[in-house]
C-alpha cells in the first residue's frame, strides 16, 4: 500500500516544479512579470519611408528660331560659365519641316510659359549641370517657391522627365537646361508620429534609389495632419537632374546613447518623464529630454538637459531602474 503514497508525492513534487517553472522561471526569462527595466547604452537607428520631390535652381533655354541643333556637350556634363553648349544652323525657310516640329513640345511650352530664356549665343549663361531631360515643372519646383508647396497640390506629380534632345527645332521650343548643383533640396511630408525625430538645423541622411546623401533640415511646417519637411543637400547624387519624384528612406538618427522602451515614457503636467526607483524602493517622476525614437526605443539625454527657458534640469542616468509600463501600473 505504500507505493501509491510515494507515487502521489512524486506527482505532487513534479506538479510543484512545473508550477514553479511556469510562474517563476519563464516570466523571469521573458520579462513578462518584470515591472522595471534598467537604462543602458545602445544603438538606435530611426529610419522611415519617404516620398520626396526634388527642388533645384534650374533654367530651361529655348530656340530663338527654327533650325538644326548639334549638341556640343554630353548629358550630365558640369559646365563652366561661357562654355559652348551647341551649334545651330538656321532653317532656310520658316516653313521648312513644319510637320516634324513642335507637336511633342507643346506641353512643355505651356507649362514653362514665361520662364524659359531664349538662347541665341548657345553658350552657358551660368555654371551647372547640362541636361536635355525636361519635365515642365522647372518653374514650379524652385527654391523660391518651395515653402509655398502643399501636399494636396504635389502628391500626384510623378511624371518622369523626358529627353528633348533632337536635331530639328522650332522657335520657342525648349532645347536644354542647366541646373545648379551647388545646392538642392528635398521636400516631403511625414505623419505627426515621426516629427519628434526632426529638428531644424539637424543633419539627416536620405537613402535614395541611386545612393545616399547627407542633408540638413532647413524648414519644418505643420500642414493639417501632416508635417512638411524641407531638407538641403550639397552632396553629389547620380542622375541628379533626371529625377523629380523619388521614393526612399530618411535616416534621422543612427547613433549610440541612453535608451529606454517607449512604453516606459509617460507625462505629468504636460512634462515627459520616467518613474525612477529610489533607494527607498519608492518611485519618483523624473523629467526627460527625448532625442529620437525608432518606434520601440527612445534615445534620451542623460544627467542634465536644458528646458525651453534655458534652465538646467536634472534627468536620468545610466543604470537607473525605471517602471517599464507606468500607465498600466496606474490601473
Could you say which of 255, 286, 304 is where a domain stops?
Answer: 255
Q: How many angstroms separate the first and last alpha carbons of the chain?
A: 53
Residue after which a domain boundary falls, among 255, 278, 295: 255
Cell of 305: 538637459
Domain of 161: which CATH number? 2.40.50.100
Band the pLDDT of 120: cuts 50, 70, 90.
confident
Number of domains in the chain: 2
Q: How does pLDDT run across 243-299, given as a tens digit for each residue?
A: 899 999 999 998 999 999 999 999 999 999 999 999 999 999 999 999 988 889 999
Q: Do residues 25 and 249 lie in contact, with contact meaning Cβ atoms separated by under 8 Å?
A: no
Q: Is residue 251 part of a domain?
A: yes
In a domain, 93, yes or no: yes
Confidence class of residue 240 from pLDDT cuts 50, 70 and 90? confident
Same domain, 94 and 163: yes
My answer on whether 167 and 127 are in the same domain is yes
Residue range(s) defining the domain that contains residue 194: 186-255
Q: What is the pLDDT of residues 137-195, one digit of tens each?
A: 999 999 999 999 999 999 999 989 999 999 999 999 999 999 999 999 999 999 998 99
Provide the CATH number for the domain around residue 238.
2.30.30
Whole-model pTM over 0.85 = no
Rounded to whole angstroms, the Cα distance separating 23 from 220 reads 50
Residues 111 and 215 in one domain: no
Same domain, residue pair 152 and 213:
no
**Residues counted in the chain:** 331
Residue 240 CA, chain-centre distance (Å), reads: 17
Which residue pairs, CB below 8 angstroms and at least 24 apart, start in 91-98? 91/65, 91/66, 91/67, 94/66, 96/66, 97/66, 97/168, 98/170
Asked if the structure places residue 83 within a domain, the reply is yes
- Residue 249 maps to a domain: yes
- Asked whether residue 265 is assigned to any structural domain, the reply reads no
Amino acid at each position: 500500500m505504500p507505493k501509491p503514497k510515494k507515487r502521489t508525492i512524486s506527482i505532487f513534487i513534479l506538479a510543484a516544479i512545473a508550477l514553479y517553472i511556469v510562474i517563476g522561471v519563464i516570466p523571469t526569462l521573458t520579462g513578462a512579470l518584470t515591472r522595471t527595466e534598467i537604462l543602458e547604452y545602445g544603438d538606435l537607428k530611426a529610419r522611415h519611408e519617404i516620398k520626396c520631390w526634388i527642388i533645384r535652381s534650374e533654367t530651361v533655354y529655348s530656340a530663338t528660331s527654327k533650325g538644326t541643333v548639334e549638341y556640343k556637350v554630353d548629358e550630365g556634363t558640369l559646365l563652366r560659365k561661357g562654355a559652348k553648349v551647341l551649334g545651330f544652323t538656321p532653317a532656310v525657310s520658316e516653313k521648312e519641316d513644319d510637320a516634324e516640329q513642335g507637336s511633342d513640345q507643346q506641353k512643355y511650352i505651356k507649362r514653362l510659359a514665361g520662364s524659359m530664356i531664349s538662347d541665341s549665343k548657345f553658350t552657358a549663361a551660368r555654371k551647372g549641370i547640362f541636361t536635355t531631360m525636361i519635365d515642365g515643372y522647372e518653374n514650379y519646383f524652385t527654391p523660391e517657391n518651395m515653402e509655398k508647396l502643399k501636399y494636396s497640390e504635389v502628391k500626384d506629380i510623378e511624371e518622369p522627365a523626358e529627353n528633348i534632345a533632337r536635331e530639328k527645332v522650332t522657335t520657342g521650343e525648349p532645347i536644354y537646361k542647366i541646373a545648379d548643383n551647388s545646392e538642392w533640396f528635398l521636400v516631403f511630408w511625414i505623419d505627426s508620429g515621426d516629427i519628434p525625430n526632426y529638428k531644424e538645423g539637424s543633419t539627416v541622411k536620405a537613402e535614395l534609389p541611386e545612393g545616399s546623401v547627407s542633408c540638413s533640415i532647413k524648414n519644418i511646417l505643420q500642414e493639417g495632419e501632416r508635417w512638411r519637411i524641407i531638407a538641403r543637400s550639397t552632396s553629389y547624387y547620380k542622375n541628379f537632374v533626371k529625377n523629380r519624384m523619388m521614393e526612399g528612406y530618411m535616416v534621422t538618427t543612427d547613433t549610440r546613447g541612453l535608451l529606454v522602451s517607449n512604453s516606459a515614457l509617460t507625462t505629468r503636467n504636460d512634462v515627459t518623464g520616467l518613474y525612477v526607483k529610489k533607494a527607498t524602493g519608492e518611485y519618483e517622476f523624473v523629467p526627460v529630454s527625448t532625442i529620437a525614437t525608432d518606434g520601440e526605443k527612445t534615445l534620451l539625454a542623460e544627467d542634465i538637459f536644458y528646458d525651453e527657458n534655458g534652465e538646467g534640469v536634472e534627468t536620468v542616468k545610466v543604470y537607473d531602474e525605471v517602471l517599464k509600463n507606468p500607465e498600466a501600473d496606474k490601473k
